[in-house]
Amino acid sequence: MNDLQLMRPVKARRHVGQAISVRGLRDDIRRADGINAKIAVFLTNIVGSMWCAYVFAIIALIGLRPALRPGGEGIIAWIAQTFLQLVLLSVIMVGQNVQSEASDLRSLHTYQDSLLILDRLNIHTDGGLKDLADRIDSLEAALKKSGA
């Protein structure tokens, strides 16, 4: 495989398992400083999972029947106040985690590409650009000598 070949595009589906998993929860909590930060990390990881979104959807659906009764809160209120707030909170958090993972991977690829370009330019030894300028100057001198 050529170093200059483009890497595969970032696919969100490859990162879903990492972004919504509670397996790394213990490590995330250990890295947090202070009890309040540990609680916040724990709650964010739990609420930001698809399992929590499923639980919230079930809770919201339980409240649908009373909302449809005459004199109840009504379907519009149920959708706006119950379903959207409960379910979409978790789904949005999961989406942000997936996008963050994909963004981190894109940043890593950009960094690796930049390193490759800088290595190809050989900037650590007076720079590849200086080498190119010297070659152009030698070609110009050779052209002048040949009378062209």
pTM for this structure?
A: 0.51
Task: Measure the CA–CA gap between 137 and 122, rounded to whole angstroms.
Answer: 19
19: CB partners within 8 A, 6+ apart = 94, 97, 98, 100, 101
Q: What's the pLDDT at 139?
A: 92
Cβ atoms 22, 50 nearer than 8 A: no
Alpha-carbon gap, residue 132 to 87, rounded angstroms: 59
Instruction: Identify the segments of the chain with pLDDT beneath 50.
Output: 1-5, 12, 14-16, 19-20
* pLDDT for 72: 65
CA nearest neighbour of 106 among 7, 1, 5, 2: 7
**Cβ-Cβ contacts under 8 Å for 67 (sequence gap 6 or more):** 73, 74, 75, 77, 78, 82
Q: CB under 8 Å to 47, separation ≥6 — which residues?
A: 89, 90, 93
82 within 8 A of 63, measured Cβ to Cβ = yes
